[in-house]
Amino acid sequence: MGIELRKLAVTDGTDIYEMLQELPADENGFINRAAGMRFDEYQEWLKGKVRESEQIGLVDGWKVPSTTFWLIEDGRPVGCGNLRHFLTDKLLEQGGNIGYSIRPSDRNRGLGKTLLSLLIKEGRKMNMDKLLITIHNQNAPSLHVALANGGKVEKTTGERTYVWIEL
C-alpha cells in the first residue's frame, strides 16, 4: 500500500479520531484541537476544518484559509499536517505556513521528513512561492526535517527558528 497524503474529509472515521487522541494537545507549537474530544465533537470539528480549507481571505482579521492532511501508511493514519494558504504579519512571527505532527507511536522512522515533503508538494499545487516553518528552538528533530527538505534558516530568536522553503 505504501504512504499517501489524504485531505481531511467530513467522512473521516474512528481511525483518524484515535490518532488525534494519541497526539498531544499542544506540542512544540503544534496545536491539536481534537485532543480530548468526544467522537461526536470530532465529527463537528471535521466540518469546521473543511470550511477553513474552503474559505477565501481573512476571517476575524487574522484567521487564514488552511487545509489539513493525514499521512497514511499502509492504510493507517500516522500523522497530520496543516498548510496555511497565506500568512498574516502575526503568522509570519508565530505560525508559518506549515504545522505537522507524527503519532508518538510512529516517531523516529523518517515519517516527519516524508510528511513535510508531501506538504511541500501540496504547496506547489496551490501555486505558493515559498513556505515558512517556525520551529521552537528545543525541537531539534523538526529543524532537521525542515533542513532535509531544502529549508534555509532565515533567523533564530530566543524562542524560534524561522525556516523558509523555496518552491
Per-residue model confidence as pLDDT tens digits over 31-56: 999 999 999 999 999 999 999 999 88
Q: Is 89 helix (H, G, I), strand (E, B) or coil?
A: helix
Would you say residue 58 has pLDDT above 90?
no
Find the angle CA(154)-CA(160)-CA(163) to the nearest 5 degrees. Answer: 30
Q: Is 29 helix (H, G, I), strand (E, B) or coil?
A: coil
Quickly state the pLDDT bin for 60 (edges 50, 70, 90).
confident
Find the angle CA(7)-CA(95)-CA(167) to the nearest 5 degrees. Answer: 65
Would you say residue 119 has pLDDT above 90?
yes
At residue 160, the pLDDT reads 94
Which CATH number fits the domain that encloses residue 153?
A: 3.40.630.30
Structural domain total, the chain: 1
To 10 degrees, what angle do helices 14-22 and 39-54 make? 90
What's this model's pTM, rounded to 2 decimal places? Answer: 0.93
**Stretch (H or E) spanning 145:** helix 140-148
At residue 33, the pLDDT reads 94
Quickly state the pLDDT bin for 61 (edges 50, 70, 90).
low
At residue 23, the pLDDT reads 95
Torsion angles phi and psi, residue 28, rounded to 5 = 55, 35
Nearest to 132 by CA among 166, 100, 87, 96: 96
Range of the domain at 143: 3-166
At residue 95, the pLDDT reads 86
Would you say residue 149 has pLDDT above 70?
yes
